[in-house]
Amino acid sequence: MKFRIYRYNPDADKKPYMQDFELADPEPGMMLLAALLKIKDTIDESLSFRRSCGEGVCGSDGMNINGINGLACVTPLASLKQPIEIRPLPGLPVVRDLIVDMDQFWQNYRDVKPYLIVNDPMPEVELPQTPQQREQLDGLYECILCACCSTQCPSFWWNPDKYLGPAALLQASRFIEDSRDQATEERLAALEGPFKLFRCHSIMNCVQVCPKGLNPTRAINNIKKMMVKRSL
């Protein structure tokens, strides 16, 4: 099994380069993350990437795999054309090898006030929510903040500090849609202007790459609709 992997260590390398690796007989059903771990353990310890859960729930190991962003731990080797070309998530500064600096991504996440805001006094028990109201959050709350979507989005590449990007906007939607949240007006107002929300041109790259099958474009369009209604 052949791999071409992006390498860059600012400590040692003047510029990035691609390095070839080969793994003899990978186990059946092997995921890309397992292959990377094996390369690191047996061929080159200095190969650097993030990982934690190994099962697609923590969002650590987003990377660009044969041109498409995805999580290494849930990408079967068998599904990939060789040599498997692996690069860091595009559009963010590279720290080392497959590790990118996510500061801007987190900044955008924090910008949408991603927390429940309730101004009324809290009851002694749970805030009521019907199963139908709760269903509105399906497809929104499951996001694992892997950044696969935002770093595949051209609008985010051009203006990462102005356009919030699909991941942050999906979270904005998650709280706007929550029947318990009391800050909808404030949240919508904060998304006004040509950039934060409206830079999304519905190119749908984000939808194609989301490893959790979420649909940021739909969430963004829902917010847009609410903005239009609000301005009438």
Partner 1 sequence: MECKTTAVVSGDVNDSIDMPDLPRRQFDALIIGAGGGGLRAALQLANADASVAVVSKVFPTRSHTVAAQGGMNAALANVLPDNWHWHMFDTVKGSDYLGDQDAIEYMCRAAPTAVYELEHFGVPFSRLDNGSIYQRPFGGQSQNFGGDQAARTCAAADRTGHAILHSLYQQNIRAKTHFFDEYFAVDLLKDDQGYILGALAFNIHNGEPVIIEAKTTLLATGGAGQLFRTTTNALINTGDGMGMALRAGVPLQDMEFFQFHPTGIAGRGMLITEGARGEGGYLVNADGERLMERYAPKAKDLASRDVVSRAIATEVREGRGCGPNKDHVMLKLDHLGEDVIQKRLPGIRQTCITFVGIDPAVAPVPIFPTAHYTMGGIPTNRDGQVVMPVKDTPEEPVPGLYAAGECACVSVHGANRLGGNSLLDILVFGRAAANHIIDYLSENRYHRPIDSDSLESAVNRMQRWDRKGDGEGESVSGLRDELKMVMENHCSVFRNDEVLAEGVAKVEQIVERFKHARIDDHSAVFNTARVEALELENLLGVALATIHSARARQESRGAHSRTDYTERDDINWMRHSLYSLDTGLDYKPVRTKPISVDSFPPKARVY
Please report whether residue 57 would count as binding partner 1 according to CB under 8 A: yes
Is the CB of 7 or the CB of 174 nearer to ligand SF4? 174
In the complex, the residues that contact ligand SF4 under the rule CB under 6 A are: 143-149, 153, 155, 166-167, 170, 200-206, 210, 212, 214, 216-217, 220
Between residues 25 and 45, which has the closer beta carbon with respect to partner 1? 45
Q: What are phi and psi of 194, to 5 degrees?
A: -75, -15
Q: Which of ligand SF4, ligand FES, partner 1, none interacts with 222 (beta carbon under 5 to 8 A by kind)?
A: none
* Near partner 1 by CB under 8 A: residue from 17, 18, 67, 116: 116
Q: Does 102 bind partner 1 (CB under 8 A)?
A: yes
User: If contact means CB under 5 to 8 A according to the sort of partner, which of partner 1, ligand SF4, ligand FES, none does residue 71 touch?
Assistant: ligand FES
**Cβ proximity to ligand SF4, 80 vs 153, nearer residue:** 153
Residues 58-97 binding ligand FES (CB under 6 A) are: 58-61, 71, 73
DSSP string of the chain? -EEEEEE--TTT-SS-EEEEEE-SSPPTT-BHHHHHHHHHHHT-TT-----SSSSSSS---EEEETTEEEEGGG-BGGGSPSSEEEEPPTTS-EEETTEE--HHHHHHHHHT--S----SPPPSSPPP--HHHHHTTTTTTT-----TTGGG-HHHHH-TTTS-HHHHHHHHHHHHS-TT---HHHHHHHT-STTTTTT-----HHHHH-TT---HHHHHHHHHHHHHHHH-
Please tell me whether residue 62 binds partner 1 under the rule CB under 8 A. Answer: no
Chain residues binding ligand FES by CB under 6 A are 51-54, 56-61, 71, 73
Chain residues binding partner 1 by CB under 8 A are 9-12, 29, 31, 40-42, 45-46, 48-60, 74, 76, 95-97, 99, 102, 106, 110, 113-116, 118, 122, 124-131, 133-134, 137, 141-142, 144-145, 175, 178, 180
